[in-house]
Chains A and B, each alone.
Chain A
Amino acid sequence: MLASIIASGLAVGAVYALIGVTYNTMFSASRVMSFTAGQLGMLGGVFGSLFVLRLGMPLVVGLVLMLVCCAIVGLITEFVAVRPVLKSLDQHLYVLSTLALALMIQQVVAVEWSTEPQAFPRVFGIGGGGILDEKFWLPVLTCAAAICALELLYRRTLTGLAFLAIAEDNFAARALGLPERNLRMASYALAGMIGGLAGFSGGQLLLAFVANGPLLNFYGFVPVALGGLGNNRGAIVGGFALGLFQQAANFLVGGIFASVAVFILFIVVLLAAPRGLFGGHLARRV
């Protein structure tokens, strides 16, 4: 049982961590938390199943098309729900505008795709359903690969440094002449792809299911809240910790109590450490 807990815990933890990174990527570029982060995870699974199983495309083509579609959803988020409300960030209108967009995405999927969970294709076909099955290690592998790629991007490329610059100080970055708007759009496209990858890699575990949207919105945000806004390392640690905790509770006391336990943990930790366990300093108010 311990092996199952660890295998499934790490797998869902990886998905949560990637959704957390999606939240962070959007936040770093715009100081906005978007409700579309979880929906992107859901879309990764739905697009994968749509392209590969329903339309019969080769897996690689399906993967690339899924990434393109999710990047476009990311761009739409930026254009429709984020850019118009950036002027008045202090009113927190983005909570409502991104929620509206997330609900639209969810409703379109529910009506045009299905409200029932649909099968997701095998990727490599390795493992016979045991704890070494690809559905358990694929998300972990994807998460590790995505993190390495992001680190390379942020540390080794000029574009990546520009991303970090606008995340650190938006005004200063603009004053230096960085194309802040283009970088923001690029970040949202990138976030879209990360979210899509989360859903795709976890597709065999979570299936192509519309209800994954709100679920991932919540479980993907928990690591962000625990790790501190914009802190990717915090989100990864938080994601895996959440996955293991949730699956342990799931196996030991049953699914419902696992959800309740996660919820209580979330509230208690946030009340104790509002800026997360690895949180930064508080902004000045007066």
Chain B
Amino acid sequence: MALSSESAAGAMQEKSLAGVGSWMFAGPLILIFCLALLVPFVTNDYWVLIATRAAIYWVLVGALNLVIGFAGQLAIGYVALLTLGAYSTSVLVAGNVSPPVPVFAALAIAGVAGAIFGVIVGLPALRLRTFYFAISTLGFATIITQIALAWQSVTGGGIGLPGPEMPAPFHTHGGFYFFCLAVAALVTWMTANIAHSRFGRGLIAVRDADVAAEATGIRKARLLMTIFVFTGASAAIAGGLFATLQTYITPDAFTFDLSVLFFISILIGGRGSILGPLLGTVILTLLPEFAAPLAAWSTFLHAVLLLVIVLVAPGGIAALLDFGNRRALRANRTIVPKVDLVGRLLAADKAKSGIALRGVVLSFLGVRAIDGVDLDVEAGKIHGLIGPNGSGKTTILNVISGFYSPEAGSVALGGEALKPGDSESRASQGIARTFQTPRIVGEASVLQNVMIGGTIHGQSTFIESLLSLPRHRSDERKLRSEAMTALSAVGLESLADIRADRLQHSELRFMEIARACMARPAFILLDEPAAGLSADEILRLGQFVKAISRQGTGVLLVEHHADLIFDICDYVTVLNLGRVLAQGTPTEIRVHKEVISAYLGG
């Protein structure tokens, strides 16, 4: 009885803590929307129109924020989808190609069209990054305008066509404003739900640590496509509303200036934030009203703002508002892992019998990095992999985790061959890893970074997360509490809410181990986890790795610290020039003549 009440109190405390966090996040957003509700009552029709414009822009920008701010894909031509939505809605309502369609049905159809074209425009992002993607969205924007100009029978060409009229009660300025505001609030809520789900964390992982994202089982292509569907639909619906606001649309209304405004709003706001880009959108929409003489130079001003943001304040408004992360961290922090928590973390059935490499060969530009390596990692054992620099240790890890496909030989897990080069599937097959240089999302909190590791255990679908349905909420609760356990286990629980890039190097190493444990792997590959750690920390790391193996998890440990290797390993493989020089127990290796002359010295 006492026990259950204690755990209930613990749960309540956890819940209230999460509650404080979400209020800190949602409070300012709710405040902004409450203030927006007052606009029609304290101002005139003109300002209501401006506010309507800001709301419509936010419907697009809020969704685009997931593409630019979270996924880091520089989609600079999104005015194309606004144009598409505006014309689809107007043409459908006017009945130029079909019998006239009611406004809301037209908006829905425009949303579907936007989703389809969102994916088409997004396709290049799957294989190409940055400049290529930016240019292809730019090209799409140019083409859409040309089509609108040329397809006169449908779009009215340069003369244009009237925008759809809303039915009562949304036909007045005020009514339409409240409608747009409601759509904007809905988009904000949905993007916030995504941001706080494994999908949102997957996006920032793809942006800042794509290699780690693959190793944790985040399916980049599927994730980006889903986001492009959502963003395309939102942008096209924003276009439909925009057409109503304009009352009459011509291709001139959709200049590249708008595209610039959209993505600068996000960059000014700050990557990975929702409040920042919202403020950015409001500021940029209002700016021309206060700087009317500069109207002709608006693009120039936007461009200057963009340059200043990029060169001077890459964090944007969100970084300015992030007061919590300005407090100094305690110096001289020591990491004290709680080894007894490892059991709670990794408790799972470990049926996998072992990783087996047979005759693996891989060369880079003619140099054989690994040349016929046989290696076995057994469940519940620690296998040390040592050798001089360039002997192929990390390359072996990369072959196992699917980043490289071997030219010859095989990699099997529990007797079944692992598909070469399929790095995204390794996590779900039970293989997790860390990296020689920690691959982390610097701008996200330590807790979020660790939660990324649990991506494969998420149950909810994208739609469930979008609408914050029960399965999404239980996913989040479970992931959060597991991540807290993992952080406690490695001794970083007091830093859970700190931005990861403020941590010390040694703390990042333990954070990566916590992230790897979140997948509850059958095997864990550690790439020089002791590099940069103090002697004390190396001792604790050793105990922690031992605790991992006691749970039945096999460990492949690449290390240069011979003491650590000989201290904790059950079995050691020594590599030299891509070949196995010696294999055996630590005692055998320590006295192996060739190993001593090639590597250990003495």
Interface of A toward B, CB cutoff 8 Å: 33, 80-81, 84-85, 91-93, 95-97, 99-101, 103-104, 106-108, 111, 214-215, 217-218, 221, 225, 254-256, 259-260, 263, 266-267, 270-271, 274, 281, 284-286
Contacts and interface: CB of A to CB of B under 8 A. Distances in A.
Interface stretch (B141-149, B273-281, B549-557, B567-575): B141-149
B320 interface: no
B283 interface: no
Given A85-B311, A95-B131, A225-B132, A271 B300 contact: no
Given A97-B311, A259-B142, A286 B150 contact: no
Contacts of B124: 267, 270-271
A97 B138 CA distance: 16
Chain B CB within 10 Å, residue with most, of A103, A217, A259, A260? A103
A33 B131 contact: yes
Contacts of A97: 306-307, 310-311
B505 interface: no
B9 interface: no
Interface string B288-313: 00000000110110111011001100
Nearest to B133: A95
B128 A274 contact: yes
A108 B303 CA distance: 11
B76 A270 contact: no
B136 interface: yes
Contact of B74 (A92, A104, A263): A92
Contact of B136 (A80, A254, A267): A267
B211 interface: yes
A247 B388 CA distance: 59
Nearest to B72: A92
A271 B136 CA distance: 12
28 contacts: A85-B310, A92-B131, A93-B314, A96-B74, A96-B306, A99-B76, A99-B303, A100-B303, A101-B303, A103-B303, A104-B303, A104-B304, A104-B307, A106-B299, A107-B297, A111-B296, A111-B297, A218-B139, A218-B142, A221-B135, A225-B135, A254-B150, A255-B146, A260-B143, A271-B124, A274-B127, A286-B211, A286-B394
Interface size class of B (residues with CB under 8 A): 35 or more
B398 interface: yes
A218 B135 contact: yes
Nearest to B256: A214
A245 to B, nearest CB: 15
A218 to B, nearest CB: 5
B424 to A, nearest CB: 14
B123 interface: yes
B599 interface: no
Contacts of B134: 95, 99
A33 B303 CA distance: 18
Contacts of A254: 150
* Minimum-distance CB pairs A-B, first 3: A103-B303, A100-B307, A100-B306
Interface of B: 74, 76, 123-124, 126-132, 134-136, 138-140, 142-143, 146-147, 150-151, 210-211, 256, 260, 267, 296-297, 299-300, 302-304, 306-307, 310-311, 314, 364-365, 394, 398, 403-404, 435
A96 to B, nearest CB: 5
Contacts of B139: 218, 263, 266
B400 to A, nearest CB: 12
B260 to A, nearest CB: 6
B143 A263 contact: yes
Contact of A267 (B123, B142, B304): B123
Contacts of B150: 254-256
A26 to B, nearest CB: 12
Given A103-B302, A256-B146, A256-B150, A217 B307 contact: no
Nearest to B298: A107
A201 B472 CA distance: 60
Nearest to A105: B303
B422 to A, nearest CB: 14
Chain B CB within 10 Å, residue with most, of A85, A101, A107, A111? A107
Contact of B138 (A106, A218, A256, A281): A218
Contacts of B403: 285-286
A266 B136 contact: yes
Contacts of B142: 214-215, 218, 259
